[in-house]
Amino acid sequence: MRLKTRVLIIIAISLLGLVVMGLLGLYGMRQSMLNERRLQIIQLLDFAESQVSYYYSLEINGKLSHEEAQSKAKAAIGAQRKGDVYFFVRDWDDVMLVHPVAARINMADDGGKMPDGKSVVDVYKSALKESKLGRAIYWSSAPRPNKHDKIQNYPKLSGVTEFKPWGWIIGIGFFVDDINMRFWKHSITFLITGAVLLLCLTILILRMRWSIIKQVGGEPRDATEFMKQIANGNLNIEITLDANDSNSLMASIKLMQMKLKNITTTIQDNSSLLEKQVQNFDEAAKAYVTTKDEDGLANLLKTTKQIEKTANILEKSVSRFKK
């Protein structure tokens, strides 16, 4: 596998790791914010139920009539409003008893439709019947009271609790677009931070790759292959170097290749010359044995010196392999 491919794999894995970690972190953060909102709803429902229980106790003790106790309880719960967060009270006949919109009080409605076609009232009634604690948390959507656009629905996390002595269903809900805004704000921060980290990591990895390539003089895999070829006796391979490259591993391999090629060429040439000189020596020796003259002896001595000189050159060339 080429170094470039390995670098790209490292960058891709790093990117995938950052994305997975970021998504898990963002998901955990969103779930944590929603859980905090659920806990807040439960605490507010407990508070409202305790208020109603107080006025119910006054009714039981005879200090207030049934109508007076319920009237004061409605007033107390209705007063607990801040912005678009408010309590509402219904009975099991779907009649609205407490709501910030006066036109809806003492009117029966289904609370609007859910995406699946069920009414909001049916959803939390079913949830209350299934709940062992007499409390339920559910998702719905509704227009925001302080928005001019009354058609657009916004996601809302709501909770209801049942006060059985009076047959009341007390509820409260929170629009979660603030959570969504915080979520996307953190998401953008994560994307920017992740992009910066990935850029820094990419630059670092590419610089490391550049440093390795510069020291090797090319792909490490190519350098290994060239070494194998030379070790197997192939000195005719083409090794390409960058301009002004004289210090890299690849440059050293090319220099070694050139020296080995020169040595082997010298050995081959001198071996051929030595073989020819030996033949000349044989011919001179045969001629001297036949003629016994001084010219034949001189020629024999000359051939002997040539053989000795060539043998010394061969010895030096071969000894260079041993060093």
Does one domain contain both 275 and 163?
no
In a domain, 197, yes or no: no
Two structure tokens written together for 42? 């439960």
pLDDT given for residue 312 in this prediction: 76
In a domain, 75, yes or no: yes
Q: Which of 30, 293, 259, 314 is nearest to 155 (CA)?
A: 30
d(CA 77, CA 169): 12
Does one domain contain both 157 and 238?
no
| Domain edge (last residue) among 156, 183, 210 | 183
Query: What is the number of residues in the chain?
Result: 323
Average of per-residue pLDDT across 21-27? 84
pLDDT given for residue 66 in this prediction: 92
pTM of the predicted model as reported, rounded to 2 decimal places: 0.59
Secondary structure (3-state) at 5 = helix
Does one domain contain both 236 and 113?
no
Q: Highest mean pLDDT: which of 68-72, 177-181, 215-219, 229-233?
A: 68-72
pLDDT given for residue 111 in this prediction: 77
In a domain, 234, yes or no: yes
The CATH number covering residue 30 comes to 3.30.450.20
Range of the domain at 124: 3-183
Does one domain contain both 169 and 36?
yes
Average of per-residue pLDDT across 216-239? 81
Comparing 101-115, 130-144, 145-159, the range with the smallest average pLDDT is 145-159
Report the largest interatomic distance among the alpha carbons of the chain, rounded to a whole angstrom: 161
Comparing 19-28, 73-82, 111-120, 175-184, the range with the smallest average pLDDT is 111-120
d(CA 270, CA 282): 18
Q: Which of 31, 20, 21 is nearest to 179 (CA)?
A: 31
Does one domain contain both 38 and 171?
yes
What does each C-alpha distance from 292 to 277, 279, 289, 297 come to in angstroms? 21, 19, 6, 7
Residue 306 phi, psi (nearest 5): -65, -40
- Cα angle 79, 83, 85 (rounded to 5 degrees) comes to 70
Task: Give the DSSP letter of residue 118.
Answer: -
- Per-residue confidence band for 69, with pLDDT thresholds at 50, 70 and 90: very high
| Domain edge (last residue) among 183, 211, 232 | 183
Report the domain count for the chain: 2
In a domain, 246, yes or no: yes
In a domain, 62, yes or no: yes
Q: DSSP H helical segments within 217-243, as ranges?
A: 220-231
Does one domain contain both 95 and 243?
no
pLDDT given for residue 276 in this prediction: 82
Does one domain contain both 32 and 167?
yes
Secondary structure (3-state) at 79 = coil
| Domain edge (last residue) among 157, 183, 209 | 183
Does one domain contain both 130 and 246?
no
More confident residue, 288 or 96: 96
pLDDT given for residue 90 in this prediction: 92
pLDDT given for residue 138 in this prediction: 85
Does one domain contain both 224 and 179?
no
pLDDT given for residue 150 in this prediction: 59
pLDDT given for residue 24 in this prediction: 86
pLDDT given for residue 151 in this prediction: 66
Does one domain contain both 33 and 166?
yes
Does one domain contain both 94 and 31?
yes
Two structure tokens written together for 307? 């053989």
Is residue 272 predicted with pLDDT exceeding 60? yes
Secondary structure (3-state) at 244 = coil
Query: 104 and 114 in contact (C-beta within 8 Å)?
Result: no
In a domain, 208, yes or no: no
Does one domain contain both 177 and 29?
yes
d(CA 126, CA 171): 14
More confident residue, 145 or 173: 173
Long-range contacts for 132-139 (Cβ within 8 Å, ≥24 apart)?
A: 134/161, 134/162, 134/164, 135/42, 135/45, 135/159, 135/160, 135/161, 135/162, 136/160, 136/161, 137/38, 137/41, 137/42
pLDDT tens digits, 275-321 = 887 787 777 777 777 777 777 777 777 778 877 787 777 677 666 65
pLDDT given for residue 48 in this prediction: 93
In a domain, 194, yes or no: no
Residue 137 phi, psi (nearest 5): -115, 135
pLDDT given for residue 233 in this prediction: 80
Residue 108 phi, psi (nearest 5): -90, 130
In a domain, 200, yes or no: no
